[in-house]
A = this chain, B = another copy of it.
Amino acid sequence: MGFSRYNSSHSTAPSAPELPLESYVHQQHQPPPPPPPPQQQNQYQSYYGHPPPEPAPPRPSSSYVQSGGFPAGTRSDVVRAFQMVDKDGSGFIDEHELQQALSSGYQRFNLRTIRLLMFLFKNPYDSHRIGPVEFAALWSCLGYWRAIFERFDKDRSGRIDLMELRDALYSLGYAVPPPVFQLLISKYENGSGKAELDFDSFVECGMIVKGLTDKFKEKDKRYTGSATFSYDSFLCMVIPFLVSYD
């Protein structure tokens, strides 16, 4: 995470999370390092050469796979949520089953959000289903995002406004440049240019940024802030987002 950051002029720059994140993040995902103080950054300054640590994607190996294909240490409610919907015991669940499984710990996400999550967390060799390892990673990531969301939803209304969204994305390690942010929120705005996002929309919005940033980073391994694509690789990178976003 944390590919690019910028120092916005607003005075509510986020600091280290205040909520007990440990209750959400206990597995593979570590919280990103707190952003450096604004005065040390220029606008659009990136972590060139100093990319923040990216949690390694969990991979099954005999040393840490427990019964059922879950990484050792996976919480029992996560295992239960998966197994409850995997009725045929195949070890894989589809998008509708994922929607149902996440309902038990989070909420019933919009199917569009589910497809985006599925696309971003799926095993690269199976595009339509996810297994225990991916499910555990997704559950853990959502827990972290939920903690960030709740931190900015100060009145516990279940919704955050656009300024809070920007700060929340920043806390997740994504400094979304203003023009990009404007595009991103255009779908949530009402006529007066205001909007509030619930957790579902927050996840959708943030996962678009995360997904595209991750893809970009694959082509910008040295963190120069720019990347070169062939026509084919550009199309191959972008089209899955459109297809999964159906």
A residues lining the B interface (CB < 8 Å): 3-4, 44, 46, 127, 176-177, 179-180, 183-184, 186-187, 208-209, 212-213, 216, 220, 225-232, 234-236, 238-243, 245-246
Contact = CB atoms under 8 A, between A and B. Distances in A.
Given A183-B239, A212-B235, A229-B229, 18 more contacts: A3-B231, A44-B232, A176-B235, A177-B235, A179-B232, A209-B235, A212-B234, A213-B231, A216-B231, A220-B231, A225-B231, A226-B231, A227-B231, A228-B228, A228-B229, A241-B241, A242-B245, A245-B245
10 contacts: A46-B231, A179-B232, A184-B243, A186-B243, A209-B235, A213-B235, A226-B229, A226-B231, A227-B229, A228-B229
A183 B235 CA distance: 9
Contacts of A225: 230-231
Contacts of A234: 212, 216, 227
A208 to B, nearest CB: 6
A236 B127 contact: no
A213 B127 CA distance: 25
A66 B129 CA distance: 55
A69 to B, nearest CB: 24
Sorted from nearest, which 4 A-B pairs have the closest CB atoms? A180-B235, A228-B228, A183-B239, A177-B232
Contacts of A245: 242, 245
A46 B4 CA distance: 34
B236 A179 contact: yes
A176 B236 CA distance: 10
A245 B44 CA distance: 28
Nearest to A179: B236
A188 to B, nearest CB: 10
Contacts of A236: 179-180, 183
A14 B44 CA distance: 48
A103 B213 CA distance: 39
